[in-house]
């Protein structure tokens, strides 16, 4: 695998991708030793049809879909799914906690609509916007639960 300078995510990502792909290929090859076993497996074909035609109904006619008739097609699809659900997700979401873990940056819910000008609640915002903001966000326990699941 060639080295990509000044982009450690790409280097690490390619190594992780390669490891996932190797594992998936070995695993799938054990259960589906030939293209025919993939092509003739009703569960695989049903699963892929659901992915393509139900889960992605808006994209069902696009030409980039795999045919799911070979072991290579199966391993490519499984590798992509595992990659997205693991290494890719971890990489793109890793930096979320420092930002969204601070409630003021991303409150889990707001309990009030923006008040109309001329009302007391609107005046409260103009007089002490921080206090007015704190009255709209979740309680301490709800916040703790929300931050725990980020």
102/89 same-domain check: no
Whether residue 142 is predicted with pLDDT greater than 60 in this model: the reply is: yes
61/106 same-domain check: no
Specify the number of domains making up the chain.
2
> Which of 94, 118, 139 is the C-terminal boundary of a domain?
94
Of all residues in the chain, the percent with pLDDT exceeding 90 is 40
101/90 same-domain check: no
How far apart, in whole angstroms, are the C-alpha atoms of residue 48 and residue 68?
A: 7
Domain of 13 in residue numbering reads as 8-94
At 38-65, the pLDDT tens digits run: 999 999 999 999 999 998 888 888 998 9
In a domain, 128, yes or no: yes
pLDDT score of 91: 74
105/142 same-domain check: yes
pLDDT score of 130: 85
For residue 73, which of 101, 100, 105, 41 has the smallest C-alpha distance? 41
């Amino acid at each position: 695998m060639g080295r990509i300078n000044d982009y450690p995510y790409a280097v690490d990502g390619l190594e992780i991708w390669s490891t996932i792909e190797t594992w998936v290929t070995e695993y799938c090859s054990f259960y589906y030793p030939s293209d025919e076993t993939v092509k003739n497996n009703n569960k695989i074909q049903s699963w892929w049809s659901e992915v393509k035609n139900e889960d992605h109904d808006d994209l069902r006619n696009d030409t980039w879909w795999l045919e799911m008739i070979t072991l290579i097609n199966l391993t490519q699809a499984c590798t992509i799914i595992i990659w997205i659900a693991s290494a890719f997700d971890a990489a793109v979401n890793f930096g979320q906690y420092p930002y969204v873990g601070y409630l003021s940056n991303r409150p889990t819910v707001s309990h009030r609509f923006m008040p109309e000008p001329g009302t007391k609640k609107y005046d409260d915002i103009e007089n002490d916007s921080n206090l007015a903001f704190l009255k709209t966000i979740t309680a301490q326990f709800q916040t703790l639960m929300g931050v725990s699941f980020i």
